[in-house]
Each structure stands twice: as structure tokens, then as C-alpha cells.
Amino acid sequence: MLAARSRLPDLAAVTRVDEVGVAERVARFTSRSIKKESKVEALKMVLSMIDLTTLEGQDTPGKVRQLCQKAMHLHDRRPGLPHVAAVCVYPTLVAVAKRALGDSGIKVASVATAFPSGMAPRRVKIEETKIAVGEGADEIDMVISRGAFLAGDYAAVFDEIAAIKEAAQGAHLKVILETGELGSLDRVRRASVLAMHAGADFIKTSTGKVQPAATLPVTLVMLQAIRDYHAETGRMVGMKPAGGIANAKLAIHYLVMLKETLGNAWMTPDRFRFGASSLANDVLMQIEKQLTGRYQSADYFSRD
Amino acid sequence: MNRPARTPRVPVAKTYKLYIGGAFPRTESGRYIAHRDPAGAVIANVCRASRKDFRNAVVAARNAFGGWAGTSAYLRGQVLYRIAEMLEGRREQFAAELAKEGSSKRRAAAEVDASIDRIIHYAGWSDKYQQVFSAVNPVASPHFNFSVLEPTGVVAILAPEQPALLGFVSNVMPAIVGGNTVVVLASESRPLPAISFAEVLHASDVPPGVVNVLTGRRAELRRELASHMDVNALVVCDGDDADARRELQQEAAENVKRVIERCGTDWRAERAAGPYHIRDTQEIKTTWHPVGI
Amino acid sequence: MDRPARASALAFEGGWTYSPAPESTEHVRIDERYGLFIGGEFVRPAEGRYFPTLNPATEEPIAEVALATDPDVDRAVRAARAAFEGPWSRMKPIERGKYVYRLARLIQERSRELAVIESLDGGKPIRESRDIDIPLAAAHFFYYAGWADKLEYAFPGRRAAPLGVAGQVIPWNFPLLMLAWKIAPALACGNTVVLKPAETTPLTALKFAEAVQDAGLPPGVVNIVTGAGETGAALVNHPGVDKVAFTGSTEVGKIIQRSLAGTGKRYTLELGGKAANVVFADAAIDQAVEGIVNGIFFNQGHVCCAGSRLLVQESVAEEVIDKLKARMETLIVGDPLDKNTDIGAINSQAQLEKIRSYLEIGLAEGAEMHQSSCPVPERGWWCRPTLFTGVSQSNRIVQEEIFGPVLAIQTFRTEEEGLAKANNTPYGLSGGVWTDKGAKVFRMTRGIRAGVVWANTFNKFDPTAPFGGYKESGMGREGGLHGLDAYLDLDA
């Protein structure tokens, strides 16, 4: 359902963010000790929230088909595991992914809008979005125009998101802020507010092509923005940290942060995703370790 | 039946290399100096560092500066205390090395103990010199005004010829405890303790590039230390004549290097260490901020 | 007390919850019984009496410690005097410093064991004793060790000399950390000490005594006498003590000050507080909420400098209070040894009674009380995080120190009004200011009459930063260069 046309929010009124205070709050999340049943439950939840991603210049249909196979068969040796939430690819490979995933229930997410830089005329970005949706994409991951944002042209950034939302014709829209280029948590907070008011279904940290990608502090600020937006409008926006979440321990820190900031209603793939490529195998290894008591070797887990 | 003759165990001679960027490379020039003991026997081949080695060391020091200057005073104090612990564990090794180069056994042991205690002394200054030298300035306008010390940057040091270990430690520690990174040219006449000390640094959580140690000919290299445009301060200890020192000061003027002369110092004395030795390689920054609603 | 209704619209209860994550205790060694530590040895108390120390989370005894009476205190003071006049004052300062460095290292090396014992004995969460109390205690010894041979630089124009024997009495809220705040500077300056830990939390002090033995300190330099109020009074009033250091309630502080009148003894007092946390509309609101939580719920609110009064600018009061209530719902009250516990046990039954009586006073005064809805264990002494609204400066719960996880909330309109309310108290230990505007930070920190003012943060401690009160919160500073003052004679 398309969001009702809304107005550019007053970004000057958005609350300030203190980065030292944020880091301290994050430290309390990372010192939580998640063990035993709660750890296995968390690890399975992480798996169900992964958007298995390949966004390389060298991607081919073969590579994408293999990735989809992995998405559907993470580790058949261990029954009872959930499948990932989605596979994320470039628009030209959406059809391949769609065919490969069949009726598995795994979504196809496509990047669009001149990912990762966003440096293309608006009409090109709209066209690309329509193509991706036409090829069968269930979800669109767009990038905001960071240049326009940093130059202070918030109206242009806002209008562009609204235009892409319309072009997505009901496919669910994730808006990538590229927090690594925004430079401060104040700007991350403002960009989050802007994106949600413009119609984002999810706000996402990064393209994964720029360092730093997702971090706990940046994610906390975005989750707090989502909480305030929900209190103001009643609408639930999802969140996706992407890039740099290489291991299960870190992923669990994110879940702790999510649980204690937004609560149970957001602890589902409909409201939270991990954008990652190598995370899944580390999670699988940790699950095996919890269930068998043995530390694992990468040799026993498929790498597609 | 033949029995193998009893031969004494063959000792393994140690190779002394340079210490740059947390690694022990040989000099890129391939040159060496045959270092002899007072009786004239060769005890080691020591690297004769070139200007390129010095250049590489400055690059390493500059790269390490941001990180080291950004560490907390507490952390720097912990690192220096660890250096002292490591040196304490090797007292016999260092005393033997100093004795090999010509010290009496008694003086060598005393020098090692004094070096350990000096490192501890400076470890304890890490989180205190700021309190002694900073100021909140009562300006006449409604501003909060404060002055703090900040490290100057990369410090090049011409170590004293003697005492080789204590003199080295007494100049390196005050520079790095204040957040600077250093490139040291060791004593030319007694270079071994400096390189062995680099091994101690290497084992003490000192980040790569914070301390870089070169050995070689003082007359050949001293001009490089004085003329390099990316070195912020030059410490000159005993080992050059007056003419040479004047030339170094002239060279240093090209980038307004801070020149700190520590000649004629008795490094064994207590007054040879203290917070002013730290202050020598610090800048002072004054900040203003309005006070009002 | 019945569990109250939840305040927030977000659902925190149920769903994915954390499994128990108990800290291991099998490596921890606690003796069944401890003697007094006098003259480098553990000795029997003169009257042969012992008393138990309890685990406030279970109400069970952990160990027995000796009850020091007058002859024991006398013996300890004499041992300290002999050590002062003997090896300790004759030692080169750097050698003295090295002994103090040894103590710092030993605390670091035994940190996990000390953290577990601190939580068992006092009730604070293991996460806090492990991450805050013990590391800071070690850091205090490291910091002051370094001053031992540098005193000539600390006081321009003055030669510093030690005072002699220090008699030190500490509270139960940060047992090992308070010991570090007292003993580290005293030793570094060349004094010897007799220290009395609080009666409900003696164990980490006794483990510290073991470290003193292992560090090889000359006998008598550090003495630990355990006991209650009478032991403390005997120590403070002993004629052989040159300097008294006390941290505890303002009430007892005044008693001590009276009893020291005319004795010529030097003394420092670190007493109670009722700090105001002032939150402006232009603050980084989410971080301010966290700062409020940290200010009053850290260590169960058993903190002299706790931010127990919230002064929130009226235009953002509703938002701040809503966020505060939601945040309180994610605080976990429970077993101090569980690594996920945020709020541990109240230190003693007596303290719990005192807190409860204040809750009743608040209700009787017409204030509105709100508590988080978390479950609490059956045995042990617990208090849920609590806040009161509908109060003003005239309420007793706003004026008096409760020393528990209880926050009193008022609103204000202008900066001047906030400042006036913050200062309207006989206490003056600490304060907090939350605003994103730099000039206002400095205006407020200049105006608040307290010894420690936190801007955009709270409850931050460092061995280099002086701590102490204005007015009835005490006199003298601990920490930093200024903390040396208390243990030196500068007029020699």
C-alpha cells in the first residue's frame, strides 16, 4: 500500500545525538551475556533475518543460482533450521534469482537507483526501479543522494524517495542512508526521519561498499528514530544494518539492541534484516557448537 | 672403540638489525659496522643505517602518531610500566651486554637498575604532567579559557654516546609518554643495548612505529635528522662538537623544528629526569568558549 | 508489593528472553573466618568475638569476620605508628611507589575473584563490580603509585611531608573502590593506615590484606580492622591517629567533626548528597534519558553522588518521562551474580526498610509513584526502580537522601529557575546538566554549587579527577593532584 503523501519534516527540530552517550549505551548491549537456550534461539532468529547478498561487478547467473541454492539449503545436515529472509542482487540478475528460488518463500530484493553511488539523473533511477520490479523483485533497496543531503537540499532527497516509492508499485522499499558518508550521528538521525516521512518501509545503514558500513552506534540511533516515528504516527518502519556484520556474536549484539529499544514487535524478518554475505556460515557454526559442544571448522559448511 | 671428543657448545651469535615500524629489518644499504669490544675483538656486525632507513623510520613514526597520541594517559602509563617489567625480567642479559662493551660488572648492573627505575618514574608521569602544566586562565571576558599540553609529533633523537642504555631510555621515555613518536639514532660507540632494548619494546604492547631505532655513523646521519621536513622536534645529546651542533640548528630552522639540547647531562642523577623533560616535546593549546545562556 | 501496570506502548516482556548467565564462582576462595589484619598478620580479636557477613541476595551468611574492640584498634594504631617511624618513612620515595604499583598489579591479576566477592558480599551486579569497581580500584593504585616520588612538583613553593597514621572509615556501597580511594594516596604520600571497612561489606578489604602480604609491604603499613560503628568511633578518636578520613552519611560526618574538635587532627569527610540532574529541551534527549537512568539506578542508587532529583524543562517533560518509563522496563533486577543483571540487591535489611519508609512518606505526601514491572526474586532484599512525580522542593522525598533506586521528578521553565532549584539544598556533592549548547553547559556548571558537575554525562569517575563536596556533602577532595592535599603536611 502506498504511503499517503506527506510533507518534508522540520529537520532542525530533530533531537540532537551525543556520540559519547551513544557509545556508552552500546557498551551495555555488548556486555549482555547471551547463553544456552536464549543463544540458540537468537542464532536461529539471525538466520531468518539474513538478506543473503551478492553485489559484485563479476556476478553471473551461475553465481546467483548457487547463492540461491545456499539460501534454500543453508546446512541440510542440521534439520529444523529456518531459511534466510531474502536474496539481494543487482536488477539484471533478479529474473535468475526469482526462477532459482521458486516457491521457497525467500524474497528477492533488488538494489536500484544507481547503487551504490546514487549518482544518476532521477529519471534513470525511476526507470531502473520499474525494471527491477518488472523482473519480479519483491523488495527494492534504494540509496539516498548523499551529495544533495550534505549540500542541505533535503527537499530533493525527500522527493526522490517518494518518487522511488511510487515507482516500486507496492514492492517494499528499503532506503539506504549510507551512514559511513554522512559523518555524524546527528545527520544519521535526520536522514532517518526524512526517509521515514518520505515513505520508507525500512531504513538501512549502508551499501556495504564504503567503510565504515553498519555499526552498533549508528544502528541504535536509527532504531531510536524508528521508535519516535512510531510514537508520533503509529507506523512501524523496519531496520536493516548492512555490511561489516561478519560474525554471530556481533549479530546477537544487534538483536539485544533491537529487543531493548523496540521490543518484541520488531523481532521478526518483517521488521529487521541483516545485510550480509559471510555471516550465515558463522551462525551455523555457532549453532552446531551449541548443540554438539564442539568448536567447528569451516570445512564442514558449504561456501556458495 | 672410538668415542667422540668432548667439544664445548658452540654459541649462536646474535644479529643486530634496525627496529622500524615494529619490525627488525636490515639496513636497505646493506652496509655494516664491525663493532668491537675494548680488547678489539668483533662482537657484532651492526647495521650502518642510511638516509633511506631514516626516511622509512620517519614514515613509520608519522603513521603511528595519530593512534599513539590518541591513547589515554592511563594506557600510555600501563605500556611504560610493562616496558619496565620486561626490562626487569632481562636484567642479567642487559648487564652482560653493557659489560661486553666495556662497563665494569658493578656499573653495568647499576645502569640497568637505574634504567628500570627511570622507566617507572616516567610511567607515573603519564597521567600527571597535564595536571602540573595545564591551566584554566581567568580571562576578563565571559569565556571559559583553558590551556592544555599536546604532543608535538615526530621527535628525532640523537642519543648520548654514554651511558648507552640509561641515556637512551632517559630521552625516549619522556617523549613517548607525552604521546609523541620517535626515531632514535643510538650511540655509535655502544649501539648494542639500544637494539636489545627494541626487543623489550617489541614485547611490551608498544604499538609499531612509536619507537624506531637506528644504528650507524652519527656524523653521516645527524644532518638527516635535522633537515627532515616531517620531523617536529630534534633532541641533541652529547656526541657532536660545537660546530656540528650549530649546523644542526641551522638545518632545523627550515621547518622551525623545536631543538632541545641536552648536553653535559649526568644521566645518572635524579635531576636528569622529570616533568620538564616531557614538557620539552609538548605544544600548548589554548581554547576559548563563551559562558552564557 | 503488587506488580504495577506497564507504562510503555512497546512490548518488552516475553518474546525472546535472556537465559541465566551466572558468573562462575568455583575459582573464588573465601575463608570461613577472618581475623583482624594487624602488623602484617591475621590475628585473633582481643575479645574473641566474630560476626557474620551476609549475602543480601540470599540472606545467607558468607563468612565470619572479627569484631575489633578498643584494644584491637589500639594495637593496630601502634603497628601503623611503628611502621611509619620505621621502614616506611626511611624508604626512598620511588621504592615506596613500587610497593603501591605492586598492589595495583595484584588487584588487576585477581580482578575476577575480587569482583565476584564484591557482588556476593554487597549485592551489586557482577557487571558493575567487574567492569567498574575493580578496574577503577586498580587504576587508583596505579595513579597514586606514580606520585610517590613526584610530590615536589605538586605544590609550588612547598615541601610536602606525610602526616603519620591515617584512620580511615569507609562505607558499603563501593567497598574495594572506597578502600582504594583512601589507601592509595595515603601510602603514596608516605603515611601508614588503619582502615575499617563497613560492617556489611568487609570481605574485599580482607582479600586486599592478603594482597598486601603477597606484595611484601613492611608489616604495619596497612592494617584492616573489621567491626561496626563502635569500632569506627574508637579508630577516629584514638589519640595516635594523625589524620581521619571518613566517607559515609552526613549525620555521622557531623558526629565525627564534633568529636575531633580541639584535637588538632586533620580530617576529610565525604558525605551524603541529593544531586539534581537538570535536563534542558535542547539536550540530546535519548542520551539524557540514559544519563538519568545511570544517575539514579546505577549501583541500586546506593551512591552519594546519585542524580536523585530530576529537574526537567517543562516543554520536554512528558517526552522524557515517557522514555524514562520505557527504559526502566528493560532494566533487569535480580541475582547479582548473573551477568545480565542491571540492578542488584539492596545492601541490607536496614537499608531496605529505610527506602520503604521513604516510599511511604512520598505517597503520604501526595506524590505519584511509578515502578517498573520486572519480577524480583523471592528471597533477598530488593527494590524495583521507582520514580515519583507530582513533587516539589517542599517534599521530604525531594529534600532527604534516600540512598536507593528512587527518583523524584520536578519541572522548571528557565535556566535561572533550574539553577535555583538545583542549588536549593544543604547538600552540594554533585550535579548534572544536559544541553547541546556549549555556552549553556559552562553557564550551568559555573552556577551549580557542587564539587562534581557532570555535563552531558553522569557518574563518571577517574583517579585523575578530584571528587568531593560543597556544604553538607563534606570537605576535602579525593582523586587527582588535589587529592594529595589530604595526606600531606605542607607547612613543615
Q: What is the DSSP string of C183-234?
A: HHHHHHTT-EEEEE--TT--HHHHHHHHHHHHTTPPTTSEEE---SHHHHHH
Cα gap B281→B178, rounded to integer Å: 8
Q: Write the residue in A20, A224, A227 that is nearest to C457 by C-beta.
A: A20
Report whether pLDDT(C1) > 80. no
Which residues of chain C make contact with A227, given a CB cutoff of 8 A? 10
CB contact under 8 A, B289 and C146: no
Q: Write the residue in B74, B123, B291 that is nearest to C439 by C-beta.
A: B291
pLDDT at residue A277 in the model: 84
Q: For residues B54-75, give the mean pLDDT.
A: 98
pLDDT at residue C418 in the model: 98
The verdict on B256 touching C (C-beta cutoff 8 Å) is no
Q: Is the ipTM of this complex over 0.90?
A: yes
Which residues of chain B make contact with C139, given a CB cutoff of 8 A? 74
C-alpha cell at A42: 537468537
Residue-range definition of the domain harbouring residue B244: 32-290
Q: For residue A217, what is the nearest residue in chain C, using CA coordinates?
A: C287
The verdict on C283 touching A (C-beta cutoff 8 Å) is yes
Does the annotation count A240 as an active-site position? yes
Side chain identity at residue C488, one-letter code: L
B9 belongs to a structural domain: no
Q: Write the residue in A21, A41, A227 that is nearest to C287 by C-beta.
A: A21
Q: For residue B290, what is the nearest residue in chain C, using CA coordinates?
A: C439
pLDDT at residue B103 in the model: 95
DSSP-assigned letter for residue B273:
S
Q: For residue C142, what is the nearest residue in chain B, using CA coordinates?
A: B124
CA distance A105 to chain C (A): 24
| CB-count burial class (<10 Å; 0-12, 13-18, 19+) for A83 | middle
Q: Summarize pLDDT for B136-168 with one digit per residue, the tens.
A: 999 999 999 999 999 999 999 999 999 999 999
C-alpha cell at C33: 573466618
C-alpha cell at A13: 527540530
- Element holding C433 (H helix, E strand): strand C430-434
pLDDT at residue A6 in the model: 72
Average pLDDT, chain C: 96
Q: What domains appear along chain C, each with residue ranges and CATH number?
A: 33-271+470-489 (3.40.605.10), 276-455 (3.40.309.10)
The catalytic residue among A141, A165, A201, A282 is: A141
Does the annotation count A107 as an active-site position? no
B69-72: Cβ within 8 A, 24+ apart: B69/B150, B69/B151, B69/B179, B69/B180, B71/B179
B82 belongs to a structural domain: yes
C-alpha cell at C27: 575459582
pLDDT at residue B10 in the model: 93
DSSP-assigned letter for residue C130:
I
pLDDT at residue B1 in the model: 59
How many structural domains are present in chain B?
1
pTM across the whole model: 0.95
The verdict on B124 touching C (C-beta cutoff 8 Å) is yes
Report whether pLDDT(C3) > 90. no
Q: For residue C440, what is the nearest residue in chain B, using CA coordinates?
A: B293
B184 belongs to a structural domain: yes
Confidence band, pLDDT 50/70/90 cuts, at residue B5: confident
Q: What is the dihedral of CA A194, A196, A200, A203, to 10 degrees?
A: 90
Cα gap B94→B108, rounded to integer Å: 8
Nearest CA to C428 among C286, C281, C319, C275? C275
pLDDT at residue C434 in the model: 98
Does the annotation count C374 as an active-site position? no
CA distance C403 to chain B (A): 32
Question: In a structure prediction context, what are the per-residue pLDDT tens digits for chain A, which is 304 residues long?
Answer: 344 457 899 999 999 999 999 999 999 999 999 999 999 999 999 999 999 999 999 999 999 999 999 999 999 999 999 999 999 999 999 999 999 999 999 999 999 999 999 999 999 999 999 999 999 999 999 999 999 999 999 999 999 999 999 999 999 999 999 999 999 999 999 999 999 999 999 999 999 999 999 999 999 999 999 999 999 999 999 999 999 999 999 999 999 999 999 999 999 999 999 999 899 999 999 999 999 999 999 999 999 8
Which residues of chain A make contact with C288, given a CB cutoff of 8 A? 21
pLDDT at residue A3 in the model: 45
Q: Is A11-300 in CATH node 2.40.110.10?
A: no
For cell 571518613, what's the residue? C246
A-contacting chains (≥3 CB pairs under 8 Å) = C
CB contact under 8 A, C16 and A32: no
C-alpha cell at C234: 574508637
- Element holding C297 (H helix, E strand): helix C285-297
B24 belongs to a structural domain: no
B174 belongs to a structural domain: yes
Average pLDDT, chain B: 96
Report whether pLDDT(B77) > 50. yes
Which residues of chain C make contact with A37, given a CB cutoff of 8 A? 19
Question: Would you call B289 helix, strand, or coil by DSSP?
Answer: strand
Which residues of chain C make contact with A15, given a CB cutoff of 8 A? 284-286
Q: For residue C130, what is the nearest residue in chain A, using CA coordinates?
A: A31
pLDDT at residue C9 in the model: 78
C-alpha cell at C357: 519508609
pLDDT at residue A5 in the model: 53
